[in-house]
Structures are given as structure tokens and as C-alpha cells.
Amino acid sequence: MKIGMVCYPTFGGSGVIATELGKALAAKGHEIHFITYSQPVRLGSFRKNIFYHEVNVSDYPLFLYPPYELVLASKMVDVAKYEKIDLLHAHYAIPHASAAYTAKQVLAEEGIHLPVITTLHGTDITLLGKDASFEPVISFAINKSDAVTAVSHSLRNDTYKLFGVNRDIEVIPNFVDLESMREELRVDMRQEYAPHGEKLLLHISNFRPVKNVLDVIRMFALLKDQCSAKLVMVGDGPERSRAEQLCREHDMCHRVIFTGMLKNPTEVLSVADLFVLPSESESFGLAALEAMAMGVPVISTNTGGLPELNRHGVTGMMSDVGDVEDMARHALSLLNDEQRLARFKKNALARAADFSIDKILPLYEKVYHTVLQTA
Ligand code: GMT
């Protein structure tokens, strides 16, 4: 199949999933055309069957806001016509699904049928969906897609709750490529971060308010005197300076490392003992799945899709949003009990295998075949 993959090219989970899906489909022989405004970060160097079409919005003095969605739709039309793609897979409703619908209509005028599959990832529904200014267009784009998937049951339920959506939404969970994550390992970072055998807690996110990054620091402040541990904070974003300030106030900067963004977090994941994700809302929690794929148990909240991934008392522990005392208690119960921690590590890895790419990829292929057959 020839597939147009429309996504955000950034470190965010939706871009990562779209890129990894495209890479895996290309490895199986499909031809993948990424359509986005810059090269997706996880794409890496040249690969067979993968093409990249950049969307460039020209700067024109009349435009207070650059019309990205229009240029994106025109690019989709161009790629569809000249690369002869069979279908478009839009990751994230805004503006990808609505731009895809525009492209589909333009092509229909020329007698070309282009099915559109929309995958909902979370913030497009749970955060932006609450904004009345987006709601009518998101609902329309979802209803008009030829197939819609959501990355968890929780996200599917939120979509029905928040939008005027009356169609089927199939749940296809996010995935990891366990093998290639291991292949990417080159450096052992434990000596760097924990030279005296300290336990390592790890948080990775875009440091947006929804991630509750300050709760990671508050939790660490509560447990730091009861175990020998360090905290590694990977990522960057609006809450970073407040998080750094909070570390200073607790006088624990020597035990907290802020690495900034890391292109490939696998190396730091491979030496972590616990992954901490205290999010306010999380439709799936791809970062937690990537941690589990490296055998790292997860201390998380019990919000959104996280309970569909993390098994309380088995692969990690879950607490109510904001309950940092409970999170600290849970973390200590693992950090101070080697045997229990080792058991949880094994369970986390086994659970990640339920989301391995070879199990999930065929589900997307089936959706593609179905929309093509009903075309
Ligand atoms: O979490 C973010 O802020 C990034 C966001 C995105 O759209 O890239 O992540 C969402 O999609 C991921 C991939 O499906 C999910 O794993 C994340 O849980 C989801 N984020 C939220 O729901 C907050």
C-alpha cells in the first residue's frame, strides 16, 4: 500500500507513534509518505520506502496567522495525485483530520477517492476538546473520517463524552518496538548518573502543566532522606524553571539532574529503577510504555488510559492525581526492597510485550484494508 502519514514531527507521543508506525510499515514493504512541516525527529537517516514531503507556509505580510492547514491540505492533494497514495492516515485531530477532509473533497472533484483514517491521541480530545472554539470542527472531522481509532478505551469514552460524535471508534493501543530499543543501546549511563550505586528515578515529558512535573519533585523531596537515590528529569517545556526552583528550595539540586530534551531516551531508560508519571490526564502514557519496555516499573497516577497499561501492584503503582505522599510511599516500597523491585521490573517488561509492535501493526493494516475495500 501507499500511505500518506500526516503527523506532528516533534518529540510528542503522537508524532513518535506516527513515525514508528511509518517505519515499521515501510520495513514490511509498504510505501510511506510523511507529510509535515519538518523531518520527524524519530525518522533517523534514509530508509527504503520512506518519503518526506515538507509543508512550507510562505510568509506574507497580510497573514497575522500563517494558514498552515490550507497549505497542508494542498500538499496532501499534491502527494495524493502525483505519488498515487491509496489512503491518508492523520495523527491528531487538529488540524490534520480537518485538513485531510478538505484534501479529500478537493480530490473528489477530480474523481479521485482518498480514504482518510484519523487516530486520536489525547490532548486533541481531552485538552483542546474542552475548548468550544475547536469543538464543531473536531466533531465534523471525526464524523467524516472513513475510520477513526483511539489509543485507549478511556480516550474513546472521552471522545463520545466531549464531542458530537456518533460513529464507531476502534481502540488500537500504542506500541513499542522492543527489539530495536535494545539495539539502540550504546552507552551505560549508570556510572554517570549514579556513581555510588544510588537508585535512579526517572521522569520524561514535555514539562507541560498537564504532566504535573512539580509533583515529581515534591514526591522526590518526600522520599530522598529515606533511600539513596537520584532523580533524572528528561525533557523541557513551560514548567522546567519552576521545577528547578523547587529543587533549590528543597536544597536537593545535587541529587536531581535536568538533562533537557534527549533525542533517544533509551539509554537513560535502561539504567532507571523507577519511572514517575504523575500526570493530571494521560490518554495512554507512551513514555510509561517505553519505560516498561526497558524493564522499568511505573509510579503513575490512575488517570485516563494509564490503568489500561500500568497494573497496580504488578508493573508499578498508581495513586490519585496530586497525592504525592502516596506516590512517595509506593516508590519507597520498591526502592527499599530489592526482591520486590526485581519482580516488578520483570513484570513491567512482560507487560510491555503485550504492546509490542508486531501485535499492533496488523491492527492498523486491517483498518487500512477495510477502508480500501469499502471504497
Ligand atoms: O502528552 C503530550 O503532551 C503529548 C501528546 C501528543 O499528542 O503527542 O501525547 C498524547 O498522545 C500520546 C500518544 O498517543 C499518548 O501516549 C499521551 O498519553 C497523550 N497525552 C495526553 O493525553 C496528555
pLDDT tens digits, residue range 187-219? 678 888 899 999 999 999 999 999 999 999 999
**What is the 3-state secondary structure of 46-105?**
CCCCEEEEECCCCCCCCCCCCCHHHHHHHHHHHHHHHHCCCEEEEECHHHHHHHHHHHHH
Per-residue pLDDT of 304-322, as tens digits, reads 999 999 999 999 999 999 9
Per domain, the residue ranges of the chain are: 2-175+356-374, 179-355
Q: What is the pLDDT of residue 185?
A: 66
- How does residue 61 score in pLDDT terms, banded at 50, 70 and 90? confident
Mutate to test the pocket of ligand 1, among 21, 174, 277, 283 (most ligand atoms within 8 A of CB): 283
Q: What is the pLDDT of residue 15?
A: 93
118 pocket-lining for ligand 1 (C-beta < 6 Å): no
Ligand 1 center to residue 284 CA distance, Å?
Answer: 7
- Burial (CB count within 10 angstroms: exposed 0-12, middle 13-18, buried 19+), residue 288: buried
Fold that domain 179-355 belongs to in CATH: Rossmann fold (3.40.50)
301 pocket-lining for ligand 1 (C-beta < 6 Å): no
17 pocket-lining for ligand 1 (C-beta < 6 Å): yes
Q: Give the CA distances from residue 222 to residues 246, 247, 272, 274, in Å, rounded to whole numbers and listed in that order.
A: 13, 12, 19, 15
Fold that domain 2-175+356-374 belongs to in CATH: Rossmann fold (3.40.50)
Per-residue pLDDT of 344-370, as tens digits, reads 999 999 999 999 999 999 999 999 999
Ligand 1 center to residue 283 CA distance, Å?
Answer: 6
Residues 186 and 179: their CA atoms lie apart, in Å, by 14
- How does residue 129 score in pLDDT terms, banded at 50, 70 and 90? low
Model-level pTM?
0.94
Q: What is the pLDDT of residue 62?
A: 82
Residues 41 and 10: their CA atoms lie apart, in Å, by 6
* For ligand 1, atom 14: residue with the closest CA: 121
Q: What is the pLDDT of residue 250?
A: 97
206 pocket-lining for ligand 1 (C-beta < 6 Å): yes
Q: Are domains 2-175+356-374 and 179-355 of this chain identical in fold?
A: yes
Mutate to test the pocket of ligand 1, among 118, 119, 121, 153 (most ligand atoms within 8 A of CB): 121
Q: What is the pLDDT of residue 344?
A: 98
210 pocket-lining for ligand 1 (C-beta < 6 Å): yes
**What is the 3-state secondary structure of the chain?**
CEEEEECCCCCCHHHHHHHHHHHHHHHCCCEEEEEECCCCCCCCCCCCCEEEEECCCCCCCCCCCCCHHHHHHHHHHHHHHHHCCCEEEEECHHHHHHHHHHHHHHHHHCCCCCCEEEEECCHHHHCHHHCCCCHHHHHHHHHHCCEEEECCHHHHHHHHHHCCCCCCCEECCCCECHHHHHHCCCCCCHHHHCCCCCEEEEEEECCCHHHCHHHHHHHHHHHHHHCCEEEEEEECCCCHHHHHHHHHHCCCHHHEEEEECCCCCHHHHCCCCEEEECCCCCCCCHHHHHHHHCCCCEEEECCCCHHHCCCECCCEEEECCCCHHHHHHHHHHHHCCHHHHHHHHHHHHHHHHCCEHHHHHHHHHHHHHHHHHCC
Question: Average pLDDT for residues 242-249, to the nearest whole number?
Answer: 98
